Structure 1
């Protein structure tokens, strides 16, 4: 895989001040996805963030639209009032993403848990919402990217993702590497790779999402990188991994920017990245229920 820009999500409460942007730049992180808590979206200062990006050269690549609280923010809701409120909420934040100069906006097609008996109806509701939001995003100069999701969420496999993307030809796919629980990464990419416009990179054990550093789980990273390259993905290699050690893995220390650069370099060279942590035994398993 050719070397590309390394990106990092701001998930985990990363610093959005000028100092935080400078840390990205000084450590070779060239792109950022704005991903904050539901409440923090209201406090974002677009002018300040654009200034910080311009000063440091860090690209504001993508904006992760909020997906909580599920009961009041779900574009697949069967309650039309909630669905329309959710669309209006996302429209307002798409305007914020455009004001930041982001290229992509990432959206979850549903909340969870979903009743399997409602799944088909919710899929249609989500498609109606995505059709509206894709047009709105395009008008604001953005591309909306639908994220594949785990467990009972919509978009948990290639068939559902491709169905959702049929809502509007302008929609793209945000490929989250640690969300596939019912089919293999290779199968998913064979079917969907051509629609990928941005990625969330992290590793897992195929039992549930974990957001570990690549090499700490079971993903075949040289294969994933090769398939993305072959499919023509040219966006940032964007990690959705926090610095602090999650409760599902044992590490000797918190991660550093250097760890992400080393990890990406190994993957770009076609190597299996070296793990920094060891998964803990007896982790909860997603049962599919």
Structure 2
């Protein structure tokens, strides 16, 4: 069956610190959200009864509005680094992620997005950190499968692990059921469309935003250098079929929806050039 990006569900990240409400997101035309949890805190301070109740209230509000909880972004930061060489850091991070999987399953999410590291990663530690991250991904993927969830490893910028397609592929090699989250504004040494073609059908979800190619910016698409027609063609060629999940900084959700329409126009124009 032919893939039509115009039929993809439109999504956006959201947490309760955003300037826009879930009601505004729904009214703008979004169909699903990625729920962001608190970052940078210790797992013991994040995975608490009070925090679960807070997140759960947001989830119930979203569902009452008809918004799907497509994905949950697992916490990140130095205390959540699954590549850390110190087991006193790494093991609580793994345990915290596994506990959150219970929450995500109850919320009806399909995907868990995870950062394979924090930063900086010294050159002398990179190989060992990649091995630790791979081991952690294999373990967490198995736990996610037990819950009926897909773990999606996100590409990251700068010195982080997974800053190119080759490292992402290496980290998921021993976890065949692991997926990938393609963040279009994190890739500083290759284009998003090249990354997508390299990773292929293992891309299960997206973080869509624009940038200047120098560092991550999380701009609304159209402001930066991303060639959206080529990105869409790569996604379609690889069989991706949504959702189109934004992770851009914005105040007005309607601006983001308008940028999606512009992306569809760029995709149509790219198709015409190929004919």
TM over 0.5: yes
RMSD (CA atoms): 2.1
Cα displacement (A) at 1:26:
1.7
1:142 aligned partner = 149
Matches within 5 A, 1:116-265: 116-243=123-250, 255-265=251-261
Cα displacement (A) at 1:15:
6.8
Runs in 1 of length 4+ with deviation above 6 angstroms? none
Cα displacement (A) at 1:105:
0.3
1:34 aligned partner = 35
The secondary structure found in structure 1 opposite 2:266 is coil
**Which of 236, 252, 266 matches 1:270?**
266
- Say if 1:10 and 1:36, in contact at 8 Å, map to a contact too: no
1:287 aligned partner = none
Q: Deviations over 1:172-204 (max 9, x none)?
A: 000000011112223212211321000000000
In structure 2, C-alpha distance between the alignment counterparts of 1:207 and 1:12, rounded to whole Å: 29
Q: Deviations over 1:150-176 (max 9, x none)?
A: 111100111100001113111000000
The secondary structure found in structure 1 opposite 2:113 is strand
- Say if 1:11 and 1:240, in contact at 8 Å, map to a contact too: no
In structure 1, C-alpha distance between the alignment counterparts of 2:87 and 2:114, rounded to whole Å: 19
Q: Deviations over 1:205-246 (max 9, x none)?
A: 110001011110001001101111111111211110122xxx
Cα displacement (A) at 1:258:
1.4
Cα displacement (A) at 1:21:
2.7
**Which of 64, 67, 70 matches 2:76?**
67
In structure 2, C-alpha distance between the alignment counterparts of 1:272 and 1:12, rounded to whole Å: 36
Q: Which runs of 5+ in 2 are unaligned?
A: 270-275
In structure 2, C-alpha distance between the alignment counterparts of 1:12 and 1:180, rounded to whole Å: 28
2:22 aligned partner = 21
Cα displacement (A) at 1:269:
2.7
1:223–1:93 CA distance, 2 compared to 1 (3 A): same
- Say if 1:215 and 1:272, in contact at 8 Å, map to a contact too: no
Q: Deviations over 1:34-64 (max 9, x none)?
A: 0133257642435434432332110100000
1:15–1:218 CA distance, 2 compared to 1 (3 A): closer
The secondary structure found in structure 2 opposite 1:95 is helix
Q: Which runs of 5+ in 1 are unaligned?
A: 244-254, 274-289
The secondary structure found in structure 1 opposite 2:132 is helix
Q: Deviations over 1:231-265 (max 9, x none)?
A: 1111211110122xxxxxxxxxxx41211111101
- Say if 2:5 and 2:242, in contact at 8 Å, map to a contact too: no
TM-score, reference length from structure 2 = 0.87
In structure 1, C-alpha distance between the alignment counterparts of 2:224 and 2:163, rounded to whole Å: 19
